[in-house]
């Protein structure tokens, strides 16, 4: 079990780093004012998505093994409110602080912790289930950030993976040079 558990924790870290890298790749292409654009009244801006992610990360991963993942001091509804004074620097600070909390909590885990029970809103989860829950949640919101950035940048968008219409070229090049897309652990972003 230890080898499998250790592999799982490494893979979870790799995936979290990958989502962080993709979000940063998308946000780096946005102008400051783009961070606050909503595409309709019910949509979230990149700024709101980051604020929500950071609030969730702080709540879920603070004292991860010993307290409920929904902290009493979290005000989730406020995560969906942005003031006119909010700046890009503040948004990026939220982003970094949230991810720091995630990586710190994951780094502290041992293989034997994966089957321990933690709670989120009083609902029991194994540590493995709780991590998977957050991987899915963060993936969804990072995908929304990418969608918004791609929509807002339109023709100026720079792809975060293989460019459209270039798959065959990439595959041919990869076969010749053992070239592959960079993995998150190659860059060590945010860990």
pLDDT tens for each residue of 141-179: 999 999 999 999 999 999 999 888 888 888 888 777 765
- Helices 88-108 and 46-61: crossing angle in degrees, nearest 10, is 30
Please report the pLDDT score of residue 191 as a whole number: 41
180 has a pLDDT exceeding 60: no
Q: What is the pLDDT of residues 6-30, one digit of tens each?
A: 999 999 999 999 999 999 999 999 9
The pLDDT value recorded for residue 172 is: 84
Buried b (16+ CB within 10 A) or exposed e, 20-49: bbbbbbbbebbeeebbbeeeeeeebbbbbb
pLDDT at 183: 58
Residue 164 or residue 131, greater confidence: 131
The burial of 153, by beta-carbon neighbours within 10 Å (0-12 exposed, 13-18 middle, 19 or more buried), is given as: middle
- Percent of the chain clearing pLDDT 90 (strictly above): 83
pLDDT averaged over every residue in the chain: 92
List the domains of the chain with CATH numbers: 2-187 (1.20.120.450)
Check whether 80 has a pLDDT greater than 60.
yes
Give the residue among 36, 152, 50 at the shortest CA–CA distance from 85: 36
In three state form, how does the secondary structure of the chain look? CHHHHHHHHHHHHHHHHHHHHHHHHHHCCCCHHHHHCCCCCCCCCHHHHHHHHHHHHHHHHCCCCCCCCCCCCCCHHHHHCCCCCCCHHHHHHHHHHHHHHHHHHHHHCCHHHHHCEEEECCEEEEHHHHHHHHHHHHHHHHHHHHHHHHHHHHHHCCCCCCCCCCHHHHHHHHHHHCCCCCCHHHHCCCC
Rounded CA gap, 104 and 96, in Å?
A: 12
Question: What is the pLDDT averaged over residues 94-123?
Answer: 98
pLDDT exceeds 50 at position 189:
no
Tokens of 114: 């994966």
- pLDDT category at 128 given cuts 50, 70, 90 is very high
Mean pLDDT is lowest, of 38-42, 114-118, 130-134, 175-179, for 175-179
Average pLDDT over residues 82-94: 97
């Amino acid at each position: 079990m230890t080898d499998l558990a250790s592999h799982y924790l490494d893979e979870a870290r790799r995936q979290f780093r990958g989502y962080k890298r993709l979000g940063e790749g998308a946000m780096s292409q946005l102008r400051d004012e783009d961070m606050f654009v909503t595409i309709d009244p019910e949509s979230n801006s990149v700024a709101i998505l980051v604020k929500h992610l950071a609030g969730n990360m702080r709540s879920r991963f603070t004292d991860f093994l010993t307290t409920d993942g929904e902290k009493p001091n979290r005000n989730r509804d406020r995560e969906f409110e942005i003031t006119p004074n909010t700046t890009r620097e503040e948004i990026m600070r939220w982003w970094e602080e949230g991810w720091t909390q995630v990586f710190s909590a994951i780094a502290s885990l041992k293989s034997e912790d994966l089957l321990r029970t933690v709670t989120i809103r009083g609902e029991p989860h194994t540590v493995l289930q709780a991590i998977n829950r957050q991987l899915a949640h963060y993936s969804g919101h990072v995908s929304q950030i990418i969608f918004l950035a791609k929509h807002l940048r339109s023709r100026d968008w720079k792809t975060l993976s293989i460019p459209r219409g270039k798959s065959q070229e990439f595959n041919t090049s990869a076969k010749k040079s053992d070239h592959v897309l960079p993995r998150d652990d190659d860059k060590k972003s945010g860990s």
